[in-house]
Amino acid sequence: MGGHAHTLSMRFAMLASAAVVGACSFDTSVAFESASGGNNDTLSTDAGPAPDSAESSVADAAPQGTADAAPSVSDGTLQSFRRTQELTLDGELEAVWQAATFVDFAIADSPQLEALGSYIPDASLRMASLYDDDSIYFFIEVVDDLLVDNSVSTYNDDSIELSIDGQNDRSGPYNDDDHWLVIGAEGVYASLGPAPIGLVGSILPTATGYNIEIGLDREDLGAGNNSMLGFNIAINDDDGEGNTGIDAYGVWHLPLTDSCTSCCAGQGGSYPWCDTTRLGQLQLVP
Ligand SMILES: [Ca+2]
Ligand SMILES: [Ca+2]
Ligand SMILES: [Ca+2]
Ligand SMILES: [Ca+2]
- In one-letter notation, the amino acid at residue 112 is Q
Please indicate whether residue 66 or residue 39 has the higher confidence score (pLDDT).
66
CB atoms within 10 A of CB 240: 10
Please indicate whether residue 251 or residue 40 has the higher confidence score (pLDDT).
251
* 95-104, 108-117, 141-150, 209-218, range with the lowest pLDDT: 95-104
What does the buried/exposed string (b/e) look like for 159-191 if buried means 16 or more CB atoms within 10 Å of the residue's CB? Answer: bbbbbbbbbbebbbebbebbbbbbbbbbbbbbb
pLDDT for residue 129 = 98
For residue 65, is pLDDT > 50? no
User: Which pLDDT band holds residue 242 (cuts at 50, 70, 90)?
Assistant: confident
Distance (Å) from CA 30 to ligand 2 centroid: 21
pLDDT for residue 80 = 96
For residue 15, is pLDDT > 80? no
Task: Give the 3-state secondary structure percentages of the chain, helix then strand then coil, rounded to 5.
Answer: 5, 35, 60
pLDDT one-digit tens code per residue, 202-217: 999 999 999 999 999 9
Q: Which ligand is nearest to the CA of 145?
A: 2
pLDDT one-digit tens code per residue, 254-278: 999 999 999 999 999 999 999 999 9
Q: Which ligand is nearest to the CA of 215?
A: 1
Distance (Å) from CA 142 to ligand 3 centroid: 27
Give the mean model confidence (pLDDT) for residues 109-133. Answer: 97
Compute the distance between CA of residue 106 and CA of residue 123 in angstroms, rounded to an integer: 6
Domains and CATH numbers, the chain: 18-43+70-258+266-285 (2.60.40.1190)
Q: Which ligand is nearest to the CA of 149?
A: 4
State which residues have CB under 5 angstroms from ligand 2, the bound ion: 122-123, 144-145, 237, 239
Contact 159/174 with Cβ under 8 angstroms? Answer: no
User: Which pLDDT band holds residue 243 (cuts at 50, 70, 90)?
Assistant: confident
Contact 235/215 with Cβ under 8 angstroms? Answer: no
pLDDT for residue 100 = 84
Q: Which ligand is nearest to the CA of 167?
A: 3
How far, CA to CA in Å, does 82 sit from each of 66, 100, 218? 15, 9, 13
User: Which pLDDT band holds residue 73 (cuts at 50, 70, 90)?
Assistant: low
Contact 139/211 with Cβ under 8 angstroms? Answer: yes
How far, CA to CA in Å, does 282 sit from each of 33, 92, 157, 164, 191? 25, 22, 26, 8, 19
State which residues have CB under 5 angstroms from ligand 1, the bound ion: 88, 90, 92, 94, 213
pLDDT for residue 74 = 57
Q: Which ligand is nearest to the CA of 226?
A: 3
What DSSP string describes 94-148? -GGGGGSB-EEEEGGG-SEEEE-TT-----EEEEEEEE-SSEEEEEEEEE-S---
pLDDT one-digit tens code per residue, 48-60: 333 333 333 333 3
Instruction: Report CA 238 to chain centroid distance, whole Å.
Output: 17
Distance (Å) from CA 140 to ligand 2 centroid: 16
DSSP state of 208: T
User: Which pLDDT band holds residue 75 (cuts at 50, 70, 90)?
Assistant: confident
Distance (Å) from CA 144 to ligand 4 centroid: 5
Distance (Å) from CA 56 to ligand 1 centroid: 9
Compute the distance between CA of residue 221 and CA of residue 176 in angstroms, rounded to an integer: 8
With a pLDDT cut of 90, the percent of the chain lying above it is 71
pLDDT for residue 36 = 35
Give the mean model confidence (pLDDT) for residues 5-34. Answer: 31
Distance (Å) from CA 65 to ligand 3 centroid: 31
Instruction: Report CA 37 to chain centroid distance, whole Å.
Output: 19
Distance (Å) from CA 117 to ligand 1 centroid: 37
Nearest in space to 253 (alpha carbons), one of 119, 137, 162, 131: 162
Compute the distance between CA of residue 204 and CA of residue 30 in angstroms, rounded to an integer: 7
Residue 56: how many CA atoms within 13 Å on its side-chain side? 21
